Amino acid sequence: RMVLECNPEIIVVHCGRNDWNFRSWGAAPSDVAAEAAAALLSLFTLFEQHPSIRAVFYLLTSRAPIDTEQSWQYMVDLAARVQQRLPSKTRVIDLRDVMHPLDHYYVDHVHLNAEGHAANASAFLAKIRALQIGLGAPYAVSQHCSVPFPCAMPQGRFV
């Protein structure tokens, strides 16, 4: 809710899989995915009800080298569940086909470094442009934003 104080036009949501340990929880990835999908869909609906929102993007990213089969299956299940019931302004940006070499990761083999983020950013922008949904209006700085992070976006065009 805090981000909505900035009156954003676009919100990008990425649901990560760090620290998922299904064995110690005694839960199946599909059970957790059902609960997470419901939470994400509620979040997307909340965002779409805000008058400033023009688009919500649900970002799906590729498998990290350290991911277990179980954690990756969780992400696949979650994406499938969410995509079945997307609200009208929410679009999926699927970067799961962007395969990163090991040198695109920090030594933890989980988090992308500058080269990895640059590759994702390039693919991300290409996919948004391909949607042709008219997100080219200049950004304005909100004077009513009280969240503890910068709300100011650079002036110019998004796509």
DSSP alpha helix (H) spans, the chain = 22-25, 29-49, 69-83, 114-131
Question: pLDDT > 70: what percent of the chain?
Answer: 75
Q: How many domains does the chain have?
A: 1
Query: Is 156 part of a structural domain of the chain?
Result: no
Query: Is 158 part of a structural domain of the chain?
Result: no
| Token reading at 1 | 């809710």
Q: Is the confidence at residue 150, as pLDDT, over 50?
A: no
Looking up residue 67, the CATH number of its domain turns out to be: 3.40.50.1110
Q: Which amino acid is at 103?
A: D
Query: Is 149 part of a structural domain of the chain?
Result: no
Q: Is the confidence at residue 52, as pLDDT, over 80?
A: yes
What lies within 8 Å, CB to CB, of 151 at 6+ separation is 5, 6, 8, 141, 142, 145
In which domain, by residue range, is 51 found? 2-131
Mean pLDDT estimate for the chain: 80
Look up the pTM and report it.
Answer: 0.75
Lowest mean pLDDT among 8-17, 91-100, 103-112: 8-17
Q: How many Å apart are CA 9 and CA 112, to the nearest integer?
A: 26
- Give 21 or 123, the one with higher predicted confidence: 123
pLDDT score, position 2: 84
